[in-house]
Each structure stands twice: as structure tokens, then as C-alpha cells.
Amino acid sequence: MSRPERLIDENGRRVDGRRADELRPIRMEVGVLDKSDGSAYVEFGGTKVIAAVFGPREAHPRHLALPDRAILNCRYHMTSFSVEERKPLGMTRREIELSKVIREALETVAFLEEFPRAAIDVYVEVVQADGGTRTAGLTAASLALADAGIPMADLIAGVAVGKVDGQLVLDLCDLEDKYGEADMPVAMAPRFNSIVMLQLNGRMTVEEFKRGLALAKKGIDEIYRLQREALKKKFSKISPEEV
């Protein structure tokens, strides 16, 4: 994967033909796995992630249990073949950091107080990485939590905004992430108009940063709509007799 001469052409089109504020084709499906309590598959262009949730279950070892709420564990992990160069087995430092920021985003909306002494496990598996894996992963994880029936104050939707050839763009792909000037993953709880994940890789002016947040918000509103649709689709599949 080498750097194209230009990341945005004379018509304002990006390497994959998108406009600056355009999301990639998004696919979401809830309940894709059988043996977890909740699961979801999310695709943002070439980025493909699966998330699964187990619990609430008894927390063990016992001394980790909290008297007033559930603990939420989270692992963000990539398959070895999800990236250009084979990722070594085991957790990289990057995966450990992203597990932390994803967990901290999810804790924000899940009603953990409803399950004292319990644990909830969230697993995000990146099957293919083409930019924005942590935001796609978080988007999938929040669907999986909903699928598992964990009560939540809101869904979480996330997307990366970036700066590419001096221009702000929405939903970076891998090429833009690698050769662009900045990558800023943003996730929000739309109902609260609040940020639940925010990181920056690169540099932006203050003005770009502020516009970037607004651009992210635009994408997030659309993703949020798709999430609710995907959930509806899942639950409409369940016939009345089953309920």
C-alpha cells in the first residue's frame, strides 16, 4: 500500500470516490453469533468487526466484584490477518490502550448499578482493518450490549474524522489514515449530546478541531440511525409467539 499522489482530487473526491463529508457504505447486523448473550457485526467499507457480550454473570475472582454495580470488562482484539503485515498473536500495546478507551466509553451508558457484584464481558474482534476500527468496534459493542438486554441510557455511535491533504474528511479509510495529517476517533452518546470517546493522532488547528467535532457529529447521527434500524430489524424477526 503506497501513497497515492493525491488523497483528494481536483473535484474534491477522495481515494475511494467519496466526498469529504461522506460515510463509507455501512452494514450492521445484530445477533450474528449463537453462543454469546448478545452480538453484532459492523462493516464500514473495508473495516469489519464483530462484537459479543457475555453476562451479567457472577464476577470472579470474588474480590474483584463491586458491591454497588457490575464491572465491565472489555477486550479489543485484531485477528492476525486483519492488517497488511501479520499482527503477532497476543495483545499489543495498541490493543490494550484501545480496550481501555472502548470500555470507558461503554461504562458511560450501561446501567451497571442494576447488577451489583456481577461482571459483563465485551469482546470486540477486528476481522479486517481499513481505518476506524475502534469506532466501528465501539459501535458494534453498543449494539451487542443492547442485543444482550443490558439496559443502557443510550446507544453509542462512533466515527473517525481526519485531515487529509489539508482538508477535513469524515470516516477515514486506511490509506487516508496512513498518509493523512490527522486521525481523530470520536464517539458520542447522541441523546446526551456528549462525547464518550475522543483521541487524536496527528495535528489540527483549534479551528479544525472544532469543525472536526461538528463533522463527526454529522456522521454519528447517521450511524445512530442505522443502529436503531439494525436493532429494529433484529427484534422484528422475533415472532410475537416467542415474546
Partner 1 sequence: MALAPKKDLTAKIMRSKIYSLLLQDKRIDGRKPTDLRPIKIETGLLSKAEGSALVSMGSTKILTGIKVEVGVPFPDRPDEGTFTVNAELLPLASASFEPGPPDERGIELARVVDRSLREGRVLDLKKLCLIEGEKVYVLFIDIYVLDYDGNYFDPSLISALAALATAKLPRYDVVDGKLQKTGEYFTPEIRSLPFTVMVGVIGEKFLLDPQLEEEKVLDVSLVMGADEKGNITCVQKNSPGQVPLELMDSIVDIVIEKTGEIRRKFLQEVPVKLAESP
Kindly identify the residues of this chain, within the stretch 51-70, that bind a second copy according to CB under 8 A: 60-63
Cell numbers for 68: 454497588
Among a second copy, partner 1, none, what does residue 60 contact (CB within 5–8 Å per kind)? a second copy
Residue among 35 and 63 whose Cβ is closer to a second copy: 63
Cell numbers for 48: 469489519
* Chain center to CA of 194: 16
If one asks whether residue 83 binds partner 1 (CB under 8 A), the answer comes out as yes
Burial class (CB in 10 A: 0-12, 13-18, 19+), 214: exposed
Residue among 3 and 60 whose Cβ is closer to a second copy: 60
* Chain center to CA of 224: 11
If one asks whether residue 159 binds partner 1 (CB under 8 A), the answer comes out as no
Binding-site member from 16, 20, 69, 117 for partner 1 (CB under 8 A): 69
Task: State the nearest-atom distance from the C-beta of 58 to a second copy, in Å.
Answer: 10
Burial class (CB in 10 A: 0-12, 13-18, 19+), 67: exposed
* Chain center to CA of 219: 13
Among partner 1, a second copy, none, what does residue 152 contact (CB within 5–8 Å per kind)? none
Residue among 26 and 45 whose Cβ is closer to partner 1: 45
